[in-house]
Amino acid sequence: MTTQEDIASVAAQLAGLTKTVERMSDQLTHVPPGRVSQQERADTQEDRINIAARELAEVSERLQAAANALRQTLER
């Protein structure tokens, strides 16, 4: 995989992660208050935040690796 392809792949993953977080946010704001308890909602929100944080960390690592590869390519 070339550096350009690697960067494009990371950008696509970041875009996907952004959409996932937006969907999760929409789901949390559209849950009727009477249907679930405040604790259940907090637990669900915490779980979703943890998942998004893990995904973001993975994408961040890949983005850093792509940036490092790009720097190395430019230094040659």
pLDDT of residue 6: 76
Identify the three-state secondary structure at position 46: helix
Range of the domain at 44: 3-75
**For the chain, what is the domain count?**
1
Q: What mean pLDDT comes out for the span 22-34?
A: 70
pLDDT of 30-72, one tens digit each? Answer: 666 666 687 887 888 888 888 888 888 888 888 888 888 888 8
Residue 41 · residue 28 · CB < 8 Å: yes
Q: Are 66 and 3 in contact (CB under 8 A)?
A: yes
